[in-house]
Amino acid sequence: MLRVALGTAIRSLGSNRKFPVLFRKMASFCQEERGPANTLQYRIYYKNDKGQFISPLHDIPWQVSKGPNVYNMVVEVPRWTNSKMEIATKEPLNPIKQDVKKGKLRFVANCFPHKGYIWNYGAIPQTWENPKHIDPNTNQGGDNDPIDVCEIGSRICKRGEVIQVKVVGVLAMIDEGETDWKVIAIDVNDENADKINSIADVEKIKPGYLDATRSWFKIYKIPDGKPANVFAFDGEYKDRDFAEKVIQETHDFWVHSHDGSVECDFAMQNVSCSDSKFKTSCEEAAKIVDGAPGKGPAADITDEKAEKWFYV
């Protein structure tokens, strides 16, 4: 198994799988922006607590603690925004960038009554939905990305932020013939973190949120001329134990991509995975970032899709 230094210890979380509201982070990560925002050149690179450039996909640990499980989440898209930011899996050091379609920056349609994403949206690092693995539950391969997370807490996170979450369930979306798991999780520091420990708790504390989430994923590509998405299990949310088995499986795929037993087309450079065939030096990582353009002032957003409402 790959080993990553995990840093500062956390406060004991107890044995009843409930989580305290206050939570001390295991490690600190900071971001460095390069290129003007709202342009094709914009990137967010990451540094660890030693000031070394790292890959958020490969160098940030997937788990913070076990029993109960706490996971790191890289926030790609803050709630209420719709710039389609994502971990750049094919670029060295895997910075966050805005997705591009036909040479233009991609914005997800605002489908009435929603404005942008309705959760903080991101991914669990050190995971990979293997496209060559046919999932027996969905009969489809993975979507070739780290596993997605919808964080349902009260706070609007910052783009690129790394937060710690507990998982409460998962939705199995089938997106254009690919399995695209949507993990439902909550920030362990959220005011409701000690109350939400299951899918049933979500419906109790935040009624309607799960129905809205399923509807959002069903219709959000329709304004782009694509069909409605469908779901395995007739759109039923699966529980925490099921979700954590899926996450474990995607982590195992990521591990095998680094030991060379499974082929993966990600950019694999990392500075801390001791058993990885693709480990590089901190000096080489710094050279990658040095080659990126300077930050510069943000450009104006000219795509009307960013603000327009679509009625589906």
pLDDT in tens, 149-166: 999 999 999 999 999 999
Instruction: Indicate the number of domains in the chain.
Output: 1
Mean pLDDT value of segment 61-71: 93
Residue 137: inside a domain, yes or no? yes
Q: For all residues of the chain together, what is the average pLDDT?
A: 92
Strands 43-47 and 53-54: antiparallel
More confident: 18 or 76: 76
pLDDT of residue 234: 96
Mean pLDDT value of segment 216-224: 97
**CATH at 236:** 3.90.80.10
Residue 198: inside a domain, yes or no? yes
pLDDT of residue 149: 98
Mean pLDDT value of segment 203-223: 98
Residue 226: inside a domain, yes or no? yes
Mean pLDDT value of segment 283-298: 96
38: its two tokens = 């709202």
265: how many CB neighbours lie within 10 A of its CB? 10
| Residues in a beta bridge with 142 | 179
Residue 176: inside a domain, yes or no? yes
Strands 162-175 and 70-77: antiparallel
Phi, psi for 282 (deg, rounded to 5): -65, -30
pLDDT of residue 68: 87
Q: Whole-model pTM? A: 0.92
**What residue ranges in 200-254 does DSSP mark as E strands?**
230-231, 238-239
9: its two tokens = 């210890």
Residue 302: inside a domain, yes or no? no
Nearest to 138 by CA among 55, 286, 64, 242: 242
| Structure confidence at residue 26 as a pLDDT band (50, 70, 90) | low
Could you write out the three-class secondary structure of 122-182?
EECCCCCCCCCCCCCCCCCEECCCCCEEEECCCCCCCCCCEEEEEEEEEEEEEECCEEEEE
Residue 246: inside a domain, yes or no? yes
Q: What's the length of the chain?
A: 312
Residue 135 structural domain:
67-269
